[in-house]
A and B are shown apart, each in its own frame.
Chain A
Amino acid sequence: MNSPAAPSQKPMSFFLTTAAINRVCRRKAADRRLRLYGLIAIGLAVAMLATLFVSLIMTGYPSFVQTHVTLDVYLNPADIKADNPETGNYRAVIKESLVTLFPEVKNPRQQRALQGLISNGAQYMLRDKVAANPSLIGQMVSLKVPATDMVDQFHKGVISRELPEDQRKISDQQIVWYDALAAAGRITTPFNWALFFNSDSRFPELAGLKGAIAGSFYALAVCFLISFPVGIAAAIYLEEFAARNKMTDFIEVNINNLAAIPSVVFGLLGLALFLQFMGLPRSAPLVGGIVLSLMTLPTIIIATRVALKAVPPSIREAALGLGASRQQVVFHHVLPLSLPGVMTGAIIGLARALGETAPLLLIGMNAFITSDPGGLMDPATALPTQIFIWADSPERGFAARTSAAILVLIGFLLLMNITAIFLRQKFERKW
């Protein structure tokens, strides 16, 4: 559509006029702009993800080590009776060992402050040690005990030395003692096994995840035992046997909607139906597991159906041709062939259930419980609810513990997802 140019002029391409070139430039710039917006959007999302992980690791990793103080404890037979080592006055023994280190501290108030360096759990650790081996009584033992949260935070640099005394918990005098202990090589920071092998506690330096991990394990076991067989059976029926009618359509709509119902509503169901109506115990992993299994069910059903669909019809026809019944076709051939896909779906569903918090809060799995659950009916917490409890605790040390617990939870999730990906890559067949 070249413009009819005047006869005197040489015809010039319409596309080479400055206006046209400008137009093209503008259009190309718009294109680049849109591309840039896309990059910025992705950059923002990835930056947020990175911030999330970096901040969690930064606050959480100090919690994987715990400041310990090495004490030389004389197990005075006057305080601990050999015939009944369980009920000895271990508090006095610990205090004595501290006072021996700092003989200049005479005044009882000062001595109390000195004791404030050592975790309250030290006496129980010592008691367990002596109860297990009563022959120690009357001897001098070297004992590594956890320092209190404030010393721990100070040692890790969370509480700064430069802060004025009235703005930090640890007093100047205590810092002097701490320095003396550090100079004597009595302050060590070994790996924090207590984080994994202690149950919850009011004291951050003693609090651990054992109870929460056990509770999560029980709940997930119940969840798996219910949702796995029920989900697979439902998926097989809907995919292989059900006639296409209103009923099956209704079931499918139901399953899809169930997958999108907010998790807190499942908690309300658990509270009203299982706790209130059926009288099952509060905070029990059994109830948590049942509620989680109802939430996981749609995921497993949908994944199983996809896996069943992927098995080519020729397999079914061959088996039918050899005289197998329809159920034999499914259970002997189709289901075993689709099992990797089914397992992958189940693991991903369980991983989601492991991170689920809100329904567990409503059925009371956020109680303060200092012993690990012995069974399905015992009150317990789960990993995500433990994170919630710790996140709500005012003590400084719990912030770090929360991050550490989150890292543990994410570690478990990562493990499950890697297993799922591995299963898929290793066993999935392309037909």
Chain B
Amino acid sequence: MTTLLCLLALSMASFFLFNARARAMAANTSARLHSLPSYHGAYVALRVALPSVAFLLIWSLCQQPIIDRLVMSGLPAEATTGMGRGALDLILSEIKTVADGRIFGEPSPTILAAAEQYKEWRQLGQYALFAGGLGIAIVALYLAHRKIAVEFRARQQVERIVNGLMIFCSLVAILTTLGIVFSLLFEAYRFFELVPWHEFFFGLNWEPQIPLRADQVAGLGAFGAIPVFTGTLLIAIVAILVAGPIGLFSAIYLVEYAAPKTRAVIKPTLEILSGIPTVVYGFFAVLVVAPAITAFGQHLGIEMAPNSALAAGLVMGIMIVPFISSLSDDAIRAVPQAMRDGAYALGATKAETIVSVLLPAALPGIVGGFLLAISRAIGETMIVVMAAGLIANLTANPFEAVTTVTVQIVTLLIGDTEFDSPKTLAAFALGLVLFAVTLCLNIIALRIVRKYREMYE
């Protein structure tokens, strides 16, 4: 942190210094500067800041794993032989707590020595960071300073650097996607080393928390994800059954029937629904909707779980109403006025125009909106974490409790940092499936929507 501030201060100082230097140069010589003085300052400042800050970031990101590895390889061989990854991680975290001065119980002398070693490495890393960053900055300053001259094309140079920075920033989106794909693939691969993939994709038993029989994979539970997938699907279907009609009919009303003033009030009101944080919906489901549904079910004599799929799906449906309504709204409005006029000229009523002309014409857009809404429903987390069940249940009955992919991801990972048990890795396998499915749905939906838009433009 202090190193970063030092570097930024150095960069600022060099800006002002070379800004003044260029000014003086312009005053002293008869020739005109090629670039404005501030570009000379900016050139040096950028040349100083960029490489040193980049070094700083890379170093501080890589320091921890390297030190960890060094410390672990520094342990005497007999202390680590024949240990699994988990045990090694445990030793490492013990070394770290001891190094931080939080000593519980009696750590063994090897651990104490390793903790000393760890502290030393860390200190060394800090020094190297400071020295390296400052060294790079000074070398860059020297190199840049030699270039400053009356004829120097400072503006072009600065613009080239800025252009490079902007390209880098637009690559961040790609880097993020790559980061997601690789971290999911990597952890999921480790999971499939422990659990065969066919058991995961076709197994009917999902009990990751309880060991069922000793000969089972790592004795840690059953990882058949089918009930989890069906649960996700069930809740998503309930949500779409709620949100579909409400969203579609309100879009029809808003586009074709409502006066412009009514529309101006109702549309933002519906949009509020999509601005409410999902954790609020989750609490709403637990506080109001689930008890109401259970009471209603008892009234009708239906046996209902308190965390039934119906309650979670219903609330999720409310959440995605504005999605469907605004996408259908766009689709219906994009139908050319001429088609409406044609239908009216033939004597069709508004309803007939809508049902037999507008909706068929807008269908691709509406379908695209529904697909996006399904993808949103599948990926939605907080509502189901709070309102749906934890236990996988292979059923199509919405009155029973089911669990979903996102619920399992969250419950498997909360409060668990151990990374080699199939239990935590299973969350990444589920995440991979979730990512792949939502990505496909999105790509298909966006393609449909775009193609359809081009049709009328």
Contact = CB atoms under 8 A, between A and B. Distances in A.
Contacts of A362: 409-410, 413-414
Interface string B251-287: 0111001000000001001101101111111111011
A265 B277 contact: no
A265 B187 CA distance: 13
Interface in A380-418: 384-385, 387-388, 391-392, 399, 402-403, 406, 409-410, 413, 417
Contacts of A241: 163, 166
Given A45-B321, A297-B176, A388-B382, A357 B278 contact: yes
Contacts of A431: none
A44 B179 contact: no
B427 to A, nearest CB: 7
A92 interface: no
Given A28-B349, A42-B253, A268 B173 contact: no
A358 B419 CA distance: 19
A236 B165 CA distance: 11
A234 B172 CA distance: 8
Residue from A260, A276, A391, A406 having most chain B Cβ neighbours under 10 A: A260
Q: Is the interface of B mostly helix, strand, loop or mixed?
A: helix
A98 B414 CA distance: 43
A229 B174 CA distance: 17
Interface string A37-80: 11111101110110110011001000000000000000000000
B378 interface: yes
Nearest to B243: A45
Given A41-B245, A48-B318, A269 B283 contact: no
Nearest to B167: A237
Given A45-B318, A260-B375, A327-B162, A279 B68 contact: yes
A40 B379 contact: no
Given A42-B270, A250-B174, A351-B275, A265 B280 contact: no
A42 B272 CA distance: 13
Nearest to A227: B172
A278 interface: yes
Contact of A55 (B277, B287, B379, B409): B287
Nearest to B381: A358
Nearest to A414: B275
A282 interface: yes
Contacts of B275: 351-352, 355, 413, 417
Nearest to A326: B159
Interface in B174-189: 174, 176-177, 179-180, 183-184, 186-187
A388 B411 CA distance: 13
Contacts of B385: 358, 361, 388
A230 B169 contact: yes
Given A35-B253, A45-B250, A410-B276, A258 B186 contact: no
A301 B173 contact: yes
A31 interface: yes
B12 interface: no
A263 interface: yes
Contact of B431 (A28, A268, A301, A355): A268
A135 B339 CA distance: 87
Contacts of A238: 170
Contacts of A275: 417
Interface in B219-241: none
Nearest to B96: A279
Nearest to A230: B169
A254 interface: yes
A34 interface: yes
Given A38-B253, A48-B318, A255 B173 contact: yes
Contact of A35 (B187, B257, B413, B438): B257
B382 A357 contact: yes
Nearest to B409: A264
A56 B277 contact: no
A403 B282 CA distance: 12
A408 to B, nearest CB: 11
A276 B182 CA distance: 14
A33 interface: yes
Interface string A260-289: 111111101101110111111010000000
Residue from A262, A271, A298 having most chain B Cβ neighbours under 10 A: A262
B11 interface: no
Contacts of B155: 325
B246 interface: yes
Contacts of B270: 42, 45-46
A357 B170 CA distance: 26
A277 B443 CA distance: 30
Interface stretch (B13-21, B350-358, B393-401): B350-358
B298 interface: no
Nearest to B63: A279
Nearest to A263: B381
Given A234-B166, A269-B183, A357 B349 contact: no
B179 A273 contact: yes
A242 B170 contact: yes
Interface string B140-178: 000000000000000100010011011101111110110
A290 B203 CA distance: 37
Contact of A265 (B284, B352, B354, B431): B431
Given A46-B269, A260-B372, A269 B284 contact: no
A265 B249 contact: no
Interface string A217-254: 00000000000011101101110011000000011001
B169 A233 contact: yes
9 contacts: A34-B355, A45-B246, A233-B170, A241-B166, A257-B443, A265-B431, A266-B180, A272-B184, A297-B172
Interface of A: 27-28, 30-31, 33-35, 37-42, 44-46, 48-49, 51-52, 55-56, 59, 229-231, 233-234, 236-238, 241-242, 250-251, 254-258, 260-266, 268-269, 271-273, 275-280, 282, 294, 297-298, 301, 325, 327, 351-352, 354-358, 361-362, 364, 366, 384-385, 387-388, 391-392, 399, 402-403, 406, 409-410, 413, 417
Interface of B: 61-62, 64-65, 68, 155, 159, 162-163, 165-167, 169-174, 176-177, 179-180, 183-184, 186-187, 245-250, 252-254, 257, 266, 269-270, 272-273, 275-284, 286-288, 318, 321, 325, 349-352, 354-355, 372, 375-376, 378-382, 385-386, 406, 409-410, 413-415, 417, 419, 427-428, 431, 434-435, 438-439, 442-443, 446
Given A265-B431, A387-B279, 13 more contacts: A30-B352, A34-B354, A42-B250, A55-B287, A254-B177, A256-B446, A261-B379, A261-B439, A271-B413, A273-B183, A277-B183, A355-B279, A388-B385
Per CB-CB distance, the 6 closest pairs between chain A and chain B, nearest first, are A38-B253, A262-B379, A355-B277, A279-B64, A272-B183, A41-B249
